[in-house]
Amino acid sequence: MRSPERFQKDSNNQHQPQKPNDKNLFKSNVSDSQTPFYLTKRFTFATYLTVTLLICGICLAVVVTLWLTSAITSTSTVAARTIIYSQNFTNGHTATAQCTVWTSFVAQLIQQPYILLTMSGTFDPIGVSVTDPTVIANISLALRTSTAYGPVTSNSNSWAVGLCGPSYELSASGTTCMCRTPGYSIRPCLTNQNYGGVNTTTCSGPNQTMTVIFQY
């Protein structure tokens, strides 16, 4: 038989609430040095997104730079400018109208940075040419001021400006005011039918178109 004290003690022990475990049930078992799985996935996605946007930005910058460079290049390109004489000549006829056009043509041959002179026509569409800027400048000056020049060999042809009748002619045959077969001479202001020719006889030449182009 238990004593009242013992009974009281046992009774107190029975009714005393059990002390909870001190362990925090809400505390994660993962150490502070470890990153939760969902945070790792989020960090990886953000990294990929950042790198992708950076690459796209670089590509866009390259494309814009190339486009601007192309635009500047195309804008700064200057088209070649030309002074052109081109007339039709008829066998047996004096080239009166053609002389008027020639006079206007040579008056335009002011000092320019010329790079090409070409004489062509019906019987030589490609023609003969000069690419020496000094020679072209001297020919243009001689024609404009009605003075003699040459002959000077350039691009395998002998170029000269000389008096023939009342005006000056342009020749790529080495001599002026001569009949050559075939020859390269143009003298529209000669007061007869011997107006010259391009790869034809230069006296009483056939029907043809003759063209002289100065390019700068």
Share of the chain above pLDDT 90, in %: 63
CB 159 within 8 A of CB 176: no
Residue 64 is predicted with a pLDDT of 64
Q: pLDDT for 29-55, tens place per residue?
A: 444 455 554 445 555 766 766 777 777
Using left for φ > 0, alpha for ψ between -120 and 50, and beta otherwise, residue 212 falls in beta
In a domain, 47, yes or no: no
φ/ψ (deg, to 5) at 138: -70, -40
* Number of domains present in the structure of the chain: 1
Lowest mean pLDDT among 6-15, 75-84, 90-99, 207-216: 6-15
In a domain, 131, yes or no: yes
In a domain, 198, yes or no: yes
Residue 116 belongs to domain spanning:
82-215
More confident residue, 34 or 92: 92
Residue 159 is predicted with a pLDDT of 98
In a domain, 52, yes or no: no
In a domain, 206, yes or no: yes
Would you say residue 23 has pLDDT above 50?
A: no
Would you say residue 6 has pLDDT above 90?
A: no
Residue 9 is predicted with a pLDDT of 47
